[in-house]
Amino acid sequence: GYGALLLGARFRAGIEVMLDVLGFAPALRRASLVITGEGSLDEQTLHGKAPAGVAAAARAAGKEVVAVCGRLALAPEVLGQAGIRRAYALTQLEPDVSRCIADAGPILERVAERIARDFLR
């Protein structure tokens, strides 16, 4: 990597590279709501993980962001500061983590229904 810097390369955050590779900017222009997710939304999320990068890019474009997670360990005001309007945790619907893992599909469907009801009227 250092040799590439000598040739004019520059450092970029991993999330920036991934968003470029995935074509996030053109998709974002067409989006009315951005949904991001992670197994556990916690303090680590705020320090360079994908949901924080997605939220920052969406916020810069004036788009609302919600997050879906298995476990939520951040207060609503902290989520708001990160650009995430609301988080939906599977454990809010099914407190037993092992059941959340075993039945993730049906629980995610219920979360999707809530998001649609809350944001896509």
Q: How many Cα atoms are found within 13 Å in the side-chain-facing hemisphere of 39?
A: 3
Domain boundaries, the chain: 13-119
CB 46 within 8 A of CB 73: no
Q: What whole-number distance in Å separates Cα of residue 50 and Cα of residue 45?
A: 7
- Of 88, 83, 51, give the one whose Cα is nearest residue 72: 88
**How many residues are present in the chain?**
121
Q: What whole-number distance in Å separates Cα of residue 68 and Cα of residue 116?
A: 13
Higher local confidence (pLDDT), 6 or 32: 32
Query: Is residue 14 scored above 90 in pLDDT?
Result: no
Q: Pick one of 3.40.50, 3.20.80, 2.60.40, 3.30.420 as the CATH number of 13-119.
A: 3.40.50
Out of 6-10, 20-24, 46-50, 101-105, give the one with best mean pLDDT: 101-105
Query: Is residue 60 scored above 70 in pLDDT?
Result: yes
Q: What is the pLDDT of residues 75-120, one digit of tens each?
A: 999 999 999 999 999 999 999 999 999 999 999 999 999 999 998 8
* Rounded mean pLDDT, 40-59: 90
* Rounded mean pLDDT, 31-59: 91
Query: Is residue 1 scored above 80 in pLDDT?
Result: no
Angle 50-60/14-21 helices, nearest 10 degrees? 70
User: What is the pLDDT confidence band of residue 15, given thresholds at 50, 70 and 90?
Assistant: confident
